[in-house]
Structure 1
């Protein structure tokens, strides 16, 4: 599983990254977690207009918010 955290420069992006790591640990899912930051061309390819955004296996599952680890577990 490939999980991408599309990030700008704000602290909520770090919050989302921490929540993703917590969700992955809690579920035991094998995943590559990647933070994509300051690469607006890559972020725009997903059609994301506001960060942070969470992309799982190429699909945007949320944008402009930082879900909790429990909410992220539902996407895994």
Structure 2
């Protein structure tokens, strides 16, 4: 599983990354977490708000700092 956080490096993006890592740890799964801060790369996904959460190339959330519980639900669903 590849999880990406798209954002320009703001505090919200950092918090989402921390929450994603905690969710992965709590679930005990193998997943790589990538933080994409390059604006050209972010635009390729067609999103205009950050942070954006992408699981296995599927956009699952935009513009929100999700809590660990919600991230775990999204990971299990995808």
Instruction: Give the equivalent residue in structure 2 for 1:35.
Output: 35
Instruction: Give the equivalent residue in structure 1 for 2:67.
Output: 68
For structure 2, the residue ranges without an aligned partner over 5 or more in a row are none
> How far is 1:51 from its partner?
0.7
Superposition RMSD in Å: 0.7
Taking structure 2 as the reference length, the TM-score comes to 0.92
For structure 1, the residue ranges without an aligned partner over 5 or more in a row are none
1:38-69 alpha-carbon deviations (Å, 9 max, x no partner): x1111111111111110000001001111001
Number of aligned residue pairs: give it.
Answer: 75
Question: After the TM superposition, which parts of structure 1 deviate over 4 Å for at least 4 consecutive aligned residues?
Answer: none
Taking structure 1 as the reference length, the TM-score comes to 0.94
> How far is 1:9 from its partner?
3.0
